[in-house]
Structure 1
Amino acid sequence: MDYKLLMDTAMLAGKMMLESGAETYRVEDTMHHILKTSNLEVVEILVVLTGITACISGENVAPVTLIQGIEKRGTNLSVIEQVNQISRRYCGGEIELQEAYDQLKRVESVPYPSALAFFIPLAVAVGFTISLGGSLYDVLATVIVGLALSGVMAGAETAGIDGLILDIGTSFCVGLMAVIVKSILGGAINLDTVVIGSIMPLVPGVAITNAVRDTLQGDYISGCARILEAFLKAAAIALGVGVAFAVFGNGIMGGNL
Structure 2
Amino acid sequence: MDTQLLFDTAMLAGEIMLCSGAETYRVEDTMHHILKTADDAEIIEVLVLMTGISATLKRTGEMPVSIVKRVASRGTNLSRVVEVNEISRRYCGQYLTVEQAYDMLLELKGEKHNGSLHPIAIAGACAGFTLMFGGRLTDAALAAVVGAFLALCLFCGKKLEFHAFIQDVTSSVGVAFISIVLKAIIGTPMNMDIVMISAIMPLVPGMAITNAVRDTLQGDYISGAARTLEAFLKAAGIALGIGIGIAIFSNIFLKGGR
Q: Tell me how many residue pairs correspond in the alignment.
A: 257
Q: Tell me the residue number matched to 1:15.
A: 15
Q: Tell me the residue number matched to 1:165.
A: 166
Distance of 1:188 and 1:34 partners within structure 2: 58
The question of whether the paired residues in 2 share the 8 Å contact of 1:20 and 1:79 is answered with: yes
- Cα distance change of structure 1 residues 249 and 24 upon mapping to structure 2, 3 Å threshold: same
- Cα distance change of structure 1 residues 164 and 117 upon mapping to structure 2, 3 Å threshold: same
- Give the deviation of 1:181 after TM superposition: 1.4
- Give the deviation of 1:18 after TM superposition: 0.4
The question of whether the paired residues in 1 share the 8 Å contact of 2:119 and 2:147 is answered with: no
Counting only pairs closer than 5 Å after superposition, residues 196-211 of structure 1 correspond to structure 2 as 196-211=197-212
Deviations 1:60-91 (A, max 9, x none): 01101001111100011232222212211111
- Give the deviation of 1:120 after TM superposition: 0.6
The question of whether the paired residues in 2 share the 8 Å contact of 1:4 and 1:64 is answered with: no
Distance of 1:144 and 1:91 partners within structure 2: 47
The residue type equivalent to 1:89 in the other structure is R
CA RMSD of aligned residues (A): 1.8
Distance of 1:125 and 1:213 partners within structure 2: 27
Q: Tell me the residue number matched to 1:4.
A: 4
The question of whether the paired residues in 1 share the 8 Å contact of 2:16 and 2:109 is answered with: no
Deviations 1:206-247 (A, max 9, x none): 111111111111111111111110111111111111111111
Distance of 1:143 and 1:52 partners within structure 2: 39
The residue type equivalent to 1:47 in the other structure is V
Distance of 2:90 and 2:201 partners within structure 1: 38
- Cα distance change of structure 1 residues 189 and 117 upon mapping to structure 2, 3 Å threshold: same
1:91 aligns with 2:98: no
The residue type equivalent to 1:184 in the other structure is I
The question of whether the paired residues in 2 share the 8 Å contact of 1:76 and 1:109 is answered with: no
The question of whether the paired residues in 2 share the 8 Å contact of 1:145 and 1:177 is answered with: yes
Moved more, 101-110 or 116-125: 101-110
Distance of 1:118 and 1:187 partners within structure 2: 27
Q: TM-score, normalised by structure 1?
A: 0.93
The question of whether the paired residues in 1 share the 8 Å contact of 2:169 and 2:241 is answered with: yes
1:79 aligns with 2:64: no
The question of whether the paired residues in 2 share the 8 Å contact of 1:78 and 1:110 is answered with: no
> Percent identical across equivalent pairs?
49
Moved more, 135-144 or 195-204: 135-144
Q: Tell me the residue number matched to 1:128.
A: 129
SS in 2 for 1:187: coil
- Give the deviation of 1:138 after TM superposition: 2.3
The residue type equivalent to 2:132 in the other structure is S
Distance of 1:149 and 1:109 partners within structure 2: 27
Q: TM-score, normalised by structure 2?
A: 0.93
Distance of 1:9 and 1:63 partners within structure 2: 18
- Cα distance change of structure 1 residues 147 and 59 upon mapping to structure 2, 3 Å threshold: closer
> Which runs of 5 or more residues in structure 2 are unaligned?
none
- Give the deviation of 1:103 after TM superposition: 1.9
The question of whether the paired residues in 2 share the 8 Å contact of 1:41 and 1:58 is answered with: yes
Counting only pairs closer than 5 Å after superposition, residues 30-49 of structure 1 correspond to structure 2 as 30-38=30-38, 39-49=40-50
Distance of 2:60 and 2:154 partners within structure 1: 54
> Which runs of 5 or more residues in structure 1 are unaligned?
none
Deviations 1:18-40 (A, max 9, x none): 01111101100000000111141
Distance of 1:113 and 1:69 partners within structure 2: 27
Distance of 1:226 and 1:51 partners within structure 2: 14
